[in-house]
Chains A and B, each alone.
Chain A
Amino acid sequence: MSPELFAALPFLALSVTAVAVMLLIAVRRDHRLIAAITLAGLLLALIATGATAPPAPVTLTPMFQVDGFTSFFLALIIAVCIAVVLLSYTYLNQMDDGGPVEEYYLLLLLATLGAAALLASMHFASFFLGLETLSIALIGLIAYPVKRARAIEAGLKYLVLAGVSSAFLLFGIALIYLDFGTMSFTALGRIWDTNPPHGDIYALAGFAMLLTGIGFKLSLVPFHMWAPDIYEGAPAPVTGYVAVVSKVAVFALLLRYFALIGGYRFPSLLWAISLLAILSMLAGNLLALLQDNIKRIFAYSSIAHFGYVLVALLAGTPIALQAASYYLTAYAVTTIGAFGVITLLSRPGIGHDADRLESYRGLMWSHPWLAGALTVLLLSLAGLPPTMGFVAEIYVIASGVGMQLLLPLAALIAGSVIGLYYYLRILAVLLSPAPSLASPPATPKTSPTGGAMLGVLVILLFALGIYPAPLISAIQHATAGLARSRAIYLAEDNTAVTQSPGMPRSPGYDQ
């Protein structure tokens, strides 16, 4: 088997499973069978990712490259997708609104394939291809419970906003292509190494457009308006998927793009990102204070969390790349856990999820295990020990302190103290005495697979919060590839510098 084919195995496994599921639905509608095949395909892809993690980057056409960074995040999103499948199975069974449920898995697989493509992209074309595959599948997933008005509304909103952001992205890509004649990240980086585009209006406009598009996808303030509505309207497992997979994949792409084009040489770009980060951290946390719906609170908290990760992106040192990767991992584990709890508490049959904060009152005494898990997840979101969130927050702050990003750090501290307030508010609701209603709310019996999965997530949160060294060394290995692919440039860059003295050097990348 050629190394290229070998490296492509996880992608092939995902594609084959998607096709198999599609064909099988045409032959025989069987929820259990389809879910089992999806799960098997995802497990296969996960194993393939682990087995094929290449020691050196493998290039698959000029568009894709599989390296340690790709493999790490691919494993993460496939694992998250497995968790979503486990949660969705019971949820869909209980939803029982007469509609077909099997296509859900097809959409999930397609979305994951799109995210996987994003993780390996080296080119604007593959970036756009992956993003659209992901977004279009997500529209279907968000609006999947067709009898719920909220879900349809959320799906439509996502459709419109995904369209708008794609338009921005395309226009930005077109402007950059117009200017430099290439869409490959590496080629762009090389061009700018020798010929930095200072004051180039096309490049500047292109960057602004790209940043807007990515800002929509990551729901950064001021492009965040869609997030709360879609988080609220989508069924809980899908919300978890949107919150984790689409955002993590886009952010991983952003990290790679920034590293390859050497984004740190553009002060205006850094300023724009700083502004987005500060606004997201402050506005995200402040707006979360006003919510009474737990899904909306998580939407705003996710806005703020991506503001925190942007601080690591801004720092751009090797330690910052690790920090961002660790943070995204912690975010993924925590967020999928939080939406897992919401899913397990929901009765999908009644048309909405257990999302009002009031319905969590006294949960600690009625459902001690679920409430205990949610408590740990909240502590992790708030960045308290001994959880992964604590290490992640320190990692990000460390990368910011290393580059003396004072303003973003101040916003980070202020934001996380505000954030603490609403996390504690949820906690206070959980702990308050249970309402003595005449009719105690009939909660569904918790699915054992969902409960087991939640248990695994909580144990992970603790284990990697107390002893994060193994994960950190895996991340160091993964991001070293990214730094190395950049280092190759720096070597060429240095020769370029000797050829053309006086060229400004990128400040962030010398360490």
Chain B
Amino acid sequence: MMLAWLMALPAIGGLLAWPAALWHRAAPRWISLAALTLDLLVLLHLWSGSSAPIDITGRGQWIAILQLPWIPQLGISFQLGLDGLSLLLVLLTLGLGIISVIISWTEITERTGFFHFNLLWTLSGTIGVFLALDLFLFFFTWEIMLVPMYFLIALWGHENRTYAAIKFFLFTQGSGLVMLLAILALAFVHQRETGTFTFSYFQLLGTKMQPATEMWIMLGFILAFVVKLPAVPFHTWLPDAHTQAPTAGSVILAGVLLKTGAYGLLRFVVPLFPLAASRFAPVAMLLGVIGIIYGALLAFGQNDIKRLVAYSSVSHLGFVLLGIFAWNTLALQGVVVQMLAHGISTGALFITAGALQERLHTRDMSRFGGLWANLPRLSAIGMFFAIASLGLPGLGNFIGEFLILLGTYQAHPAFAVAGTLGVITAAAYALIMVQKTFHGPPRAAAPAADLHAPHMAVMAVLIAAIIWLGLYPQPVFDVATSGLANLQAATPDGLLLADGRPP
């Protein structure tokens, strides 16, 4: 039942926060903060409550599992499960959620009630995505994330917000509907095979299919996930959405929502369709490598600081795609660390960009320059995360990228070599950003104030997290291991080797 609360608490908080704005403008902020903190406590309680994950026969190791009837007539149940992988991602979601509330404290002054309602409902949907073990429920929560995010961009975004919001919605919804077709097709294939019509993840695992059917159904799933991830060539919604969204929206989009694509690939695509995935692996890895290099090159060419960070996300998530389809323990551990590190560092960069925009009223880097003199704290933090983003050893991103490349090398050396180029290009865009924004002669008029205490506190937490992830990632590995074992139970280590032949 605790799992249901994990999803319900932000939703309830959102429902309370909306009308609370009538009472006092700041009330929704406090309510959201309380709801998310409570949720974090629930999560920590779940985690500490079971030091060793429960081994459920035939289903792997789970920290908690919940199953309630929902629409029994259609074989749909309300089934949630928390394993190591979900735990880390929910933790990231809640952490970034709390941070989003804090950084919106001064930025969002209009319609605070509705803003926090949308923020919390997006988070609730995302947590649902990370927990759902019924494919219908998964799709339900997948869609739940979208609408509030649309409102966040369309209402509190910047100058071109309507266009960006609609583009974001159409891309994700269109690909989501294709995934729905694939989910239903899988359920019907399963019914033909076994006679039961169900959407339960555990029952659908190991469904026997014709190779061609398996490939088509898998492609339906993959389309939704690579649009969300995003992989080139499905990434064009991302720069617009990230650039136009308010800071909290960008943080949630980049930090959490993109991870749902990676999570879907990990949890559903490979375990449900191991053979098709192994045949598709070279294509996916190629897309990953293209994403790494293309994203980095485009990031280098941007003048808008938020667009630069957005394209750097494309590059970083290319690594994730590469690592997922390498599918060995090294690469998968790397994927988990990369997802966490990207969430933290990109989130921090978006907060930096948002803080700059709040002070200078522009995102155009050609009008920045020499900010270090006036804004030393902001500039130092910005530089720190730019360097984290380029993968400096000792910081989280390095561990993620290194492990992914190492794992990929075992599976397919050529892709690993090509992927390594991305580390060089990352240095180019990260450094040019630092140079244009913080160094050089001051160009903009002296802005008012440096970062104030709440922002500094947020940044301190993020800095600590990324250093910890870089220096001592072992606890993360330990937690992720049981989750990854669940995934690999369906598909043994190295199934997706190199040329796609099952061993």
Q: Which residues of A contact B (CB under 8 A)?
A: 379, 384-386, 390, 394-395, 397-398, 401-402, 409, 413, 416-417, 420-421, 424-425, 427-428, 431-432, 467-469, 472-473, 476
Chain B residues with CB under 8 A of A428 = 154, 162, 165-166
Given A384-B147, A428-B154, A417 and B170 touching (CB < 8 A)? yes
In the assembled complex, the Cα of A428 lies from the Cα of B154 at a distance in Å of 7
User: Which A residue's beta carbon lies closest to that of B147?
Assistant: A384
Q: Please tell me which one of the listed residues B74, B144, B162, B166 contacts residue A385 in the complex, with CB atoms under 8 A apart.
A: B144
Q: Are A401 and B154 in contact (CB under 8 A)?
A: no
Q: Are B140 and A421 in contact (CB under 8 A)?
A: no
Q: Are A413 and B178 in contact (CB under 8 A)?
A: yes
Q: A401-B188, A428-B166 are in contact. List 4 more A-B contacts (CB 8 A).
A: A402-B188, A421-B166, A469-B73, A473-B73
Q: Are B181 and A401 in contact (CB under 8 A)?
A: yes
Chain B residues with CB under 8 A of A413 = 174, 177-178, 181
Q: Please tell me which one of the listed residues A394, A421, A469 contacts residue B180 in the complex, with CB atoms under 8 A apart.
A: A394
In the assembled complex, the Cα of A398 lies from the Cα of B73 at a distance in Å of 13
Q: Are B71 and A401 in contact (CB under 8 A)?
A: no
Interface of B, secondary structure class, is helix
Chain B residues with CB under 8 A of A431 = 151, 154-155
Q: Are B71 and A469 in contact (CB under 8 A)?
A: yes
Given A421-B170, A467-B70, A472-B73, A384 and B143 touching (CB < 8 A)? yes
Residues B105-161 near A (CB distance < 8 A): 136, 139-140, 143-144, 146-147, 150-151, 154-155
In the assembled complex, the Cα of A401 lies from the Cα of B220 at a distance in Å of 13
Chain B residues with CB under 8 A of A401 = 181, 184-185, 188
Q: Please tell me which one of the listed residues B71, B162, B181 contacts residue A409 in the complex, with CB atoms under 8 A apart.
A: B181
B435: Cβ under 8 A from any A Cβ: no
In the assembled complex, the Cα of A409 lies from the Cα of B220 at a distance in Å of 13
B72: Cβ under 8 A from any A Cβ: yes
The 5 closest A-B pairs by CB, nearest first: A401-B184, A417-B174, A385-B143, A413-B177, A472-B73
B203: Cβ under 8 A from any A Cβ: no
Chain B residues with CB under 8 A of A386 = 140, 144
B169: Cβ under 8 A from any A Cβ: yes
Q: Please tell me which one of the listed residues B143, B150, B151, B165 contacts residue A390 in the complex, with CB atoms under 8 A apart.
A: B143
Interface of A, secondary structure class, is helix
Given A431-B154, A472-B74, A473-B73, A420 and B173 touching (CB < 8 A)? yes
In the assembled complex, the Cα of A409 lies from the Cα of B162 at a distance in Å of 29
In the assembled complex, the Cα of A151 lies from the Cα of B71 at a distance in Å of 45
Chain A residues with CB under 8 A of B174 = 413, 417
In the assembled complex, the Cα of A499 lies from the Cα of B73 at a distance in Å of 37
Q: Are A424 and B184 in contact (CB under 8 A)?
A: no
User: Which B residue's beta carbon lies closest to that of A414?
Assistant: B174
Chain B residues with CB under 8 A of A416 = 177
Chain A residues with CB under 8 A of B147 = 379, 384
Q: Are B72 and A469 in contact (CB under 8 A)?
A: yes
Chain B residues with CB under 8 A of A432 = 162
Residues B58-84 near A (CB distance < 8 A): 69-74
In the assembled complex, the Cα of A420 lies from the Cα of B170 at a distance in Å of 7
Chain A residues with CB under 8 A of B144 = 385-386
Q: Please tell me which one of the listed residues B71, B139, B155, B166 contacts residue A472 in the complex, with CB atoms under 8 A apart.
A: B71
Chain B residues with CB under 8 A of A398 = 74, 184, 187
Chain A residues with CB under 8 A of B136 = 394
Chain B residues with CB under 8 A of A469 = 69-73
User: Which B residue's beta carbon lies closest to that of A403?
Assistant: B188
Chain B residues with CB under 8 A of A472 = 71, 73-74
Chain B residues with CB under 8 A of A476 = 73
Chain A residues with CB under 8 A of B72 = 469
Chain A residues with CB under 8 A of B177 = 397, 413, 416-417
In the assembled complex, the Cα of A264 lies from the Cα of B187 at a distance in Å of 24
In the assembled complex, the Cα of A476 lies from the Cα of B155 at a distance in Å of 42
Q: Are A468 and B170 in contact (CB under 8 A)?
A: no
Chain B residues with CB under 8 A of A397 = 177, 180-181, 184
User: Which B residue's beta carbon lies closest to that of A322?
Assistant: B73
Q: Are A420 and B169 in contact (CB under 8 A)?
A: yes
In the assembled complex, the Cα of A153 lies from the Cα of B446 at a distance in Å of 66
In the assembled complex, the Cα of A469 lies from the Cα of B69 at a distance in Å of 10
In the assembled complex, the Cα of A134 lies from the Cα of B155 at a distance in Å of 45
Residues B183-210 near A (CB distance < 8 A): 184-185, 187-188
User: Which B residue's beta carbon lies closest to that of A468?
Assistant: B71
Chain A residues with CB under 8 A of B178 = 413
5 contacts between A and B (CB under 8 A): A398-B74, A417-B170, A424-B169, A472-B73, A473-B73
In the assembled complex, the Cα of A386 lies from the Cα of B188 at a distance in Å of 24
